[in-house]
Amino acid sequence: MAGVTDRPFRELCRKMGAGLAVSEMLSSNPKVWHTEKSMNRMNHEGESGIRSVQIAGSEPELMAQAAQLNVQNGAQIIDINMGCPAKKVNKKLAGSALLQDPALVARILKAVVGAVDVPVTLKIRTGWDAENRNGIEIAHIAQESGIQSLAIHGRTRSCMFKGEVEYDTIKAIKQQITIPVIANGDITNEDDAKRILEYTQADGIMIGRAAQGNPWIFKQIQHFLETGERLARPCVTEQANVLLTHVDGLYDLYGEYSGIRIARKHVGWYVTQHDENRGFRREFNALESAVEQTQALRDYFSLLQAKSDDFSHVA
């Protein structure tokens, strides 16, 4: 979720019911720590809730140093990424590429756990490919290394985000280790959450892509699991308020030039259900100022509200 789960988005997800929002992935390479991108990702100023910072890399010593730096910067949990399938990450033998080398996995985990006094968690996939599914082996290594909880995306790296999720593997891992297990993969609504929790007996669920443009999914799932009742999707006015708050946070964190560009993808996710022919998105993506973007969003959602009111009168 690099490029998505920045501070404004994490803050919004927490307000919408997310129990824990993990930061964007940070490289363990100290050469990039002082770039603008990394500095923004390390910025936790004013952030509420528990601050969990995710790091990625392939060298135990550098991973330990990255963990220490982020704890100094306010991290209360260090999360290690061994699940990212992106080529640019894997070619550096980081992310899910590490699953090919269990011995190196063990060295990295022990180095990081030993370097900091805060809890260390781990995110993995079920293996590198169908012929090398070693999620259970990695889970045992994680527990023995002092990892406090394990999140599992139920696909191999070669599957990327396609095909069926291996909930059987998540269930098997949960049965074999005692640390908390978090299930991840294709959880898009309340029914998915309930079914997967009951089947895997996982201690929690992790939602990624389904929250893009839909941060209220956390509140909807939590309410359903606690009461069995479904919350309606927010009205058009609430959707507009949430989105305007989100883009304001982007302008504040990144400045106007970068903020308006980053806002484009988020707005695209929010309006997908309303903007079937992508007309508004094309117009919005051509705007070059925060004032123009904000006014365009206000006008667009006012039009949606008017249409909604007209429809209710007809009904």
CA 263 to chain centre: 17
Tokens of 182: 């978090």
Q: At 42, is the pLDDT very low, low, confident or very high (cuts 50, 70, 90)?
A: confident
Q: Could you tell me if 43 and 253 are in contact, meaning their C-beta atoms sit under 8 angstroms apart?
A: yes
Q: Is 235 a catalytic residue?
A: no
pLDDT at 126 over 80: yes
Q: At 314, is the pLDDT very low, low, confident or very high (cuts 50, 70, 90)?
A: very low
pLDDT of amino acid 311: 41
Q: Of the candidates 207, 227, 247, which is a domain's last residue?
A: 227
Same domain membership, residue 299 and residue 167:
no
Question: 13, 84, 159, 235: which one is catalytic?
Answer: 84
pLDDT at 88 over 90: no
- Write the DSSP symbol of residue 22: B
Same domain membership, residue 240 and residue 218:
no
Same domain membership, residue 129 and residue 18:
yes
What burial class does residue 146 get, using C-beta atoms within 10 Å of its C-beta: 0-12 exposed, 13-18 middle, 19+ buried? middle
pLDDT of amino acid 313: 39
Residue 209's CATH number: 3.20.20.70
Same domain membership, residue 187 and residue 240:
no
Residue 299's CATH number: 1.10.1200
Q: Is residue 80 part of a domain?
A: yes
Q: Of the candidates 227, 248, 279, which is a domain's last residue?
A: 227
Q: Is residue 215 part of a domain?
A: yes
pLDDT of amino acid 309: 62
Q: Is residue 54 part of a domain?
A: yes
Q: At 35, is the pLDDT very low, low, confident or very high (cuts 50, 70, 90)?
A: confident
* Chain length of the chain: 315
Q: Is residue 261 part of a domain?
A: yes
pLDDT of amino acid 81: 95
What burial class does residue 98 get, using C-beta atoms within 10 Å of its C-beta: 0-12 exposed, 13-18 middle, 19+ buried? buried
Same domain membership, residue 222 and residue 296:
no
pLDDT at 197 over 60: yes
Put the strands of the sheet holding 120-125 in their side by side order: 26-27, 52-56, 77-82, 120-125, 150-153, 181-184, 204-206
CA 285 to chain centre: 24
Q: Which helix (H) or strand (E) holds 184?
A: strand 181-184
Q: Could you tell me if 12 and 47 are in contact, meaning their C-beta atoms sit under 8 angstroms apart?
A: no
pLDDT at 37 over 70: yes
3-state secondary structure 225-241: HHHCCCCCCCCHHHHHH
Report strand pairing: 26-27 vs 120-125.
Answer: unpaired
Query: What is the C-alpha separation between 59 and 141, in angstroms, rounded?
Result: 17
Q: Is residue 315 part of a domain?
A: no
Domain range enclosing 271: 236-308
Q: Of the candidates 209, 227, 245, which is a domain's last residue?
A: 227
Tokens of 307: 């249409």
Same domain membership, residue 116 and residue 13:
yes
Same domain membership, residue 214 and residue 166:
yes
Count of domains observed in the chain: 2
Same domain membership, residue 265 and residue 216:
no
Tokens of 165: 């999720």
Same domain membership, residue 247 and residue 145:
no
pLDDT at 40 over 80: no
pTM, two decimals, is 0.90
Residue 234: which of 78, 17, 6, 10 has the closest Cα?
17
Q: Could you tell me if 294 and 244 are in contact, meaning their C-beta atoms sit under 8 angstroms apart?
A: yes
Q: Is residue 313 part of a domain?
A: no
Range with lowest mean pLDDT among 15-24, 33-42, 125-134, 296-305: 33-42
